[in-house]
Structure 1
Amino acid sequence: MRISWINIGAVASIAVAAALLITRNGEGHAAHYLLNVSYDPTRELYQSINPRFVENYEKQTGSSVAITQSHAGSSYQARRVSSGELKADVVTLGLPSDVEALHNKGMIADGWEKRLPHDSRPYNSTIVFVVRKGNPHAIHDWPDLIKEGVEIIVPDPKTSGNGKLAALAAWGAVVTRGGSESEAKAFLKELYAHTPFLDPAARSTGVAFAIEKKGDVHLAWENEALRETKDSKGALEIVYPPVSIRAEPSVAWVDSNVEKHGSAPLARAYLEFLFTDEGQEIIAREGYRPQNQQILEKHADRLPKINLFSITAIAQDWSDAQRRFFADNGIIDAVYAPKPRSD
């Protein structure tokens, strides 16, 4: 069997761009289809995961599979699934609260977190800094971001998981080190004052920084930072701040859709593959922190030990953080305004 990748289209507007990718068997037909709706930076991860899963599944069942990927800002993707625009069989989103939003709509069953290992979180990540060669602005810690003359490239916190996590990491960098919430709020307001624009998703933001050479520092998912610096051939560097947030991307099958599609066993098998040793190894190679600690340690040269605080350091849980920070009239609305690009 030969598996090939085909770009089957893009959903684009001024506000957001989303890519759809499909993998099929060599004949161009499959007995079963699966739509994985994911967040923006996971294109390469699932391009690596999908062929291995398909090969294993077809060996075990004798049944062919085609998997389609959809990518955009995590919260935006959750809204598209909720509205029915995307008929996701599985969601692999950047924040537990984005999956919980679908549970609250009755699309995902109660107790979804406990249906898979590690509360349905196959990998962790965090927010780090990407700077230009030589780190000309000497950016090493969160307060350095608001030095005079520094331009910060970061996605919009209302649409992007990267944007939300960057905001939470910045807030936590203040309060977990003894600062008050009023100081954290002032810091966030100043941080957004240093942003020339706020793109809706992580990947377009990374392109603006790495390819278009806009700004001085990019607040990025760790896997995106690793990819950007590798592709830059020395023009960019990663800075690990002294403290950042533990990001916990979460996965689930969408019960209301798999029932209609008859895809529940396939959807479950697909997500369970993420927790296998093979899946965890691919996850580590693609720059995410696998739950398997032995595999994580094998990749310690690229995924070093870092000081991460959990969401409970700044909120009751991810859902509470969503309400407190990102709901209408929440903390973020008080410190930022949308900034579309002017060019």
Structure 2
Amino acid sequence: MPSSAAPTAAAPGAELAPRPTPRRPLRSALGLLRACHLPPTLAVTALVTALAGGSGRDAAGCLLVAAAVLTGQLSVGWCNDRVDLARDRAAGRRDKPLVTGLLAPRTVSVAAGCALALCVPLSLAGGAAAGAAHLTGVAAAWGYDLGVKRTLASWLPYALGFGLLPAFVTLGLPGRPWPPIWSLAAGALLGVGAHLTNVLPDIDADLAAGVRGLPQRLGRRRTRALAPLPLLAACALLVFGPPGPVGPADWAALAVTAALALATVLPSTAPPSTAPPAAGGWRGRLPFLTTLALAATCVTLLLLHGAALA
């Protein structure tokens, strides 16, 4: 996004360059928490851990799942902020601790590498097959951060990451059962929907920064119209895919999902803006927030049919 400051000899965003202030451990810790995309990191960790418990993992197994998912998500979040540093400076992202100088770039790089290094043995602790499934999803997320998000294949890392989560859970169970196809397909569809809705508030700024993934190429209006479709399809698979009759809770979850999906396409009362997403308040992040709620609803359905996964 072009800077609104008057032209000077300095590079765009130079006024936001980090100041050489002492970095106390507490400041660095707070900065790392802000840079890791904490709400989605905790949400994904909690949801997958709950899914592991519902599918039959014991307490130790659930703890391993939580640790593996948490370290993987932390590594991806820190990688994202480190890779996007120049772009965030140019866009005036005062909500980013790297931009404001609360963190040094090297600190975030080291943190991402350490989290990834921990994620590998924690993922493999549940077995080679389960670990491979999770690490493939983590690798896809890193690939997204490192450049895939600028291509037409920007949806693929999300589809892989979310689609393989049921496999990570079930392949760590006794007997290493492969999850049913409906759970893999539902996870992949949920991932695609998460991708479309997550970038929706940032499309204008992304285009100004040269990011041309699938949603950016589709444009705001078409992306907003398309985003609910994979989410509704994911919920439908989770309702009608498991064996047995569809119960009242299934119908209720389907209705909730439909309402939440509708919320992602409601037009905003504010005019389009290229301001940083943080400046837009909750309205600008509504599609992303509803996606998290949709994910929770879908995982609730998986918990209701946890035995069917194995």
TM-score normalised according to structure 2 size? 0.27
Greater strand fraction, Structure 1 or Structure 2: 1
Greater fraction of residues in helix: 2
